[in-house]
Copies of this chain bind each other. A is one copy, B any other.
Amino acid sequence: MLGVGDDCALFSVGTGMQLATSMDLFIEGRHFFSDADAVAVGHKALAVNLSDLAAMGARPLACLLGLSLPSIDHHWLAGFSQGFHALAKAAACPLVGGDTTRSSDGIVISVTVMGEVAADLALRRSAAQPYDDIWITGTLGAPDIALRLLQDRLPANPALLKASRTALEMPLPPWQFAQSLAGVAHAALDISDGLSQDLGHILLASQCGAELDYVSLPIDPCLSGLDLALQQQAVLAGGDVYQLCFTASDQRRHDILQLAQQAGVSVTRVGRITPQVGLRVLDQHGQPIEHVFGGYDHFS
């Protein structure tokens, strides 16, 4: 599964391109449940890393996998490999090397991805400009609801779990659309810790603020019947989304909608960057929603 038969893997980076690289650890009991489907674990271990490449507008080139396992479970390994390789193939991000070893307790997965992006076109967190539109790919909220259900923090609800679980376990970052944003969008990042906290990173790095219109947010349909406070928490503070939040000039609205259509990705314009710092989420009356997400004051 791993070997390329030499001390290092070798590959080329395009002329004028920079190498973009990221590493994430993926730990049993922390990032996935011990009884999680092995196919989903393999998929997600790579997906969260592809999401980092997407957030830079980089094209995937190759990945490395480190697997530390307490024992050899061939059934688990076969499922893990299936999930990992299917996504690697879909994203044209071949596994070129890595390491496997025996751990004392618990599975530790380490994935490094490498991609390329034109030297001046990488989507940086610090590049948001006042009056930029703020866009989001995909939908928000479902992974957090699935996590709450699996952790018994919500009353059992098989139908809701069924509707939300795929978003948590099989995230599909928009790596292809993201490449087309390089040179079009200004700032970008992936929503891993929750929209309010992650957007906060852009605002801090870009020294500006933002207003989000709650009613325009792409709330996952499975959240429609839920209590409003819970819904707002899941949408604004829920993590594990692995979709993009990006900013772009309002001159680019048409381009962005066209690129999204070409890539088969849904995009939603959800607010705007402001010169004054702080993140404000406005309700349907234009009034700030202040009480639902913890990260608010932190970024004001």
Contact = CB atoms under 8 A, between A and B. Distances in A.
Interface residues of A, number: 60
B25 A8 contact: no
Interface string A101-128: 1111110101010110101001011100
Contact of A110 (B9, B52, B110, B124): B110
Given A5-B205, A6-B56, A7-B52, A23 B104 contact: no
B18 A11 contact: yes
Given A6-B125, A10-B122, A99 B21 contact: no
Most chain B CB neighbours (cut-off 10 Å) among A12, A99, A126: A99
26 contacts: A5-B125, A6-B126, A7-B125, A7-B189, A7-B190, A8-B21, A8-B58, A8-B115, A8-B122, A10-B19, A10-B20, A12-B119, A13-B13, A15-B15, A21-B97, A22-B64, A23-B66, A23-B99, A23-B110, A25-B66, A25-B100, A25-B110, A27-B102, A30-B101, A30-B104, A108-B110
